Amino acid sequence: MQASIHEGTAVPSAAKVGEVMQAIAEHKGCGTSGGSGKASCGSAAGQGDLPTEIWEKVKNHPCYSEEAHHHYARMHVAVAPACNIQCNYCNRKYDCANESRPGVVSEKLTPEQAAKKVLAVASTIPQMTVLGIAGPGDPLANPEKTFKTFELINKTAPDIKLCLSTNGLALPDHVDTIAGFNVDHVTITINMVDPEIGAKIYPWVFWKHKRYTGVEAAKLLTDRQLQGLEMLTERGILCKVNSVMIPGVNDKHLVEVNKAVKSRGAFLHNIMPLISAPEHGTVFGLTGQRGPTAQELKALQDSCEGEMNMMRHCRQCRADAVGLLGEDRSAEFTTDKIMAMEVNYDLDTRKAYQAKVEEERVAKVAAKQEELSTLAGEMSDIKLLVAVATKGSGLINEHFGHAKEFQVYELSTSGAKFVGHRRVDLYCQGGFGDEENLETAIRAINDCHAVFVAKIGGCPKADLLTAGIEPVDQFAHEFIEKSAIAWFKSYLDKVNSGEIEHVERGDAEIRQGALISAA
């Protein structure tokens, strides 16, 4: 299919692209939103040191801006079933509504069904700003379906940003088409730049009617991925690189990957944990390959942060995910339901809603800055983690027992910095608490000093305290960062007065049986 070229998608001049990419390379802070006063690309207080054209692209993209992910949603449409490579962490053979792993979806869609679904979701969820194609296979191994979907959405819902995630093998062949469709955001999953390491991750790739294996396959893949990355950044398209951290295979090597992708103009690096269990039926699951612990993952992300912007809020979404990152509303939008739905796509309503969201963001950032000023002059090396139960909007607005995940913030005299999230199984089972799930939830946040909740019952409170984690419900329905900074200030006061002694916490578990996605 020949892509239609839309107005306004002209390739910028080389000089302009050079300026912008230079600014990207120098920019730090996206996805970290620290309280250090350093600009964050998710900050509603301003665009900081970001060029306006980049700011416009990231400010309401939930994956490219950590701050935006509290407010804006994305959706994926599963129009791309085939894949042209095999990853040892992927099995697309079966679906489970409670699990997400590479390629797991409930329904595959035609481009026409996908376009209808986008309109249905956009009418129901006005904060849905981004449509991504991320599988269940590789979007560029299914170029007709992928680009037909983009064409239809460009026509019917032009305010929605288009996003694409690929393994990169076919990328160099499609860069011009991607640019022609005004796609501003492309993710490439790059797990290695050394074919010897790649041979341990990819058993084969299929290229120009031929199957390649071993080091030869990995060499072909890495060459094509890096070529595609360079071609995209030359055209001013924002590129995010996803890497799966596989302990003992590529964990140490990912520092080198980070340098390689930064030098080619990547905007953001997202290092995700391998989630691997035998029941997933993947090669790594069946051979007992473990994923990283929470501390191992954070240490690697921290070590790469000096080099470039790191994403830490990825939820490793399903290929048909709908909603805010961390929530999944895909069951509300099955094909049957969409066909029966009265779709009322109203741009004005969407804009009005988003204007309200922007007001909330400004208020949130102002509250954080005000609280941060109370830490001025504090001298302490203490850094600690806290967990937060939230339904979104940057508020502590979820009950402990209803939380499906906890967001994790690092607190220091620099402020509150989002550093990750932990998925957990529901503790509250409607009238009673599941003790086993409580234990796994505590293990998931075992590296945290406190957990901030809107409400919590007596039993879990006691168990958390026994585990050394302070349940904090005094900031119910208040802003997360402002509250966390206020709590940290009082923690420091208690340490300084000798009322409590600061102790380091242990490691935490990343829940197995969550998901991995090609996105």
Contact residues for ligand CLF, defined by CB under 6 A: 63, 74, 76, 130, 132, 134, 163, 165, 185, 187, 270, 314-317, 325, 517, 519
User: Quick check: 81 binds ligand SF4 (CB under 6 A)?
Assistant: no
CB of 122 to ligand CLF, least distance (A): 14
User: Quick check: 241 binds ligand SF4 (CB under 6 A)?
Assistant: no
Question: How far apart, in whole angstroms, are the C-alpha atoms of residue 418 and residue 421?
Answer: 9
Q: 40 or 191, CB closer to ligand SF4?
A: 191
Could you tell me which of 334, 328, 286 has the C-alpha nearest to residue 93?
286
Q: Radius of gyration of the chain from Cα atoms?
A: 22
Phi then psi dihedrals of residue 103, to 5 deg: 75, 5
Between helix 254-263 and helix 294-305 the angle, nearest 10°, is 30
Q: 105 or 387, CB closer to ligand SF4?
A: 105
Question: How far apart, in whole angstroms, are the C-alpha atoms of residue 332 and residue 139?
Answer: 24
317 binds, among ligand CLF, ligand SF4, none (CB under 5 to 8 A by kind): ligand CLF
Question: How far apart, in whole angstroms, are the C-alpha atoms of residue 135 and residue 129?
Answer: 19
234 binds, among ligand CLF, ligand SF4, none (CB under 5 to 8 A by kind): none
Q: Is the dihedral of CA 207, 210, 213, 217 positive or negative?
A: negative
Q: 55 or 204, CB closer to ligand SF4?
A: 204
Phi then psi dihedrals of residue 423, to 5 deg: -80, 145
Question: How far apart, in whole angstroms, are the C-alpha atoms of residue 106 and residue 118?
Answer: 16
Interface characters, 155-174, with ligand SF4 (x: CB under 6 A): ------------x-------
Q: Using the rule CB under 6 A, which residue among 24, 85, 133, 375 binds ligand SF4?
A: 85
CB of 516 to ligand SF4, least distance (A): 7
Q: 192 or 441, CB closer to ligand SF4?
A: 192
User: Quick check: 316 binds ligand SF4 (CB under 6 A)?
Assistant: no
Question: How far apart, in whole angstroms, are the C-alpha atoms of residue 105 and residue 135?
Answer: 9
User: Quick check: 137 binds ligand SF4 (CB under 6 A)?
Assistant: yes
Interface characters, 89-128, with ligand SF4 (x: CB under 6 A): -x-----------xx-------------------------
315 binds, among ligand CLF, ligand SF4, none (CB under 5 to 8 A by kind): ligand CLF
Q: 43 or 517, CB closer to ligand CLF?
A: 517
83 binds, among ligand CLF, ligand SF4, none (CB under 5 to 8 A by kind): ligand SF4
Q: 170 or 375, CB closer to ligand SF4?
A: 170
Q: 261 or 486, CB closer to ligand CLF?
A: 261
130 binds, among ligand SF4, ligand CLF, none (CB under 5 to 8 A by kind): ligand CLF
Q: 327 or 439, CB closer to ligand CLF?
A: 327
- Residue 136: asked if its preceding bond is cis (omega within 30°), the reply is yes
464 binds, among ligand CLF, ligand SF4, none (CB under 5 to 8 A by kind): none
List C-alpha distances in Å: 247 to 67, 152, 274, 383: 29, 42, 8, 26
Q: 73 or 485, CB closer to ligand CLF?
A: 73
Question: How far apart, in whole angstroms, are the C-alpha atoms of residue 139 and residue 311?
Answer: 22
318, 74 contact by CB (below 8 A): no
Q: 276 or 517, CB closer to ligand CLF?
A: 517
> Quick check: helix, strand or coil at residue 295?
helix
Q: Token pair 């030098």 is at which residue?
A: 263
Q: Cα angle at 150 between 146 and 153, to 5 degrees?
A: 140
* Residue range at the interface with ligand SF4 (CB under 6 A); choices 133-141, 178-186, 395-403, 456-464: 133-141
Between helix 171-180 and helix 143-156 the angle, nearest 10°, is 10
How many residues contact ligand SF4, by CB under 6 A? 12
Residue by residue, DSSP assigns 198-249 as HTTT-SEEEETTEEEEHHHHHHHHHHHHHHHHHHHHHTT-EEEEEEEE-TTT
Query: 73-86 as b/e, with b when 16 or more CB fall inside 10 Å?
Result: bbbbbbbbbebbbb
Q: Using the rule CB under 6 A, which residue among 67, 138, 151, 447 binds ligand SF4?
A: 138
User: Quick check: 518 binds ligand SF4 (CB under 6 A)?
Assistant: yes
Q: Where along the sequence are the contacts to ligand SF4 (CB under 6 A)? A: 83, 85-87, 90, 102-103, 135, 137-138, 167, 518
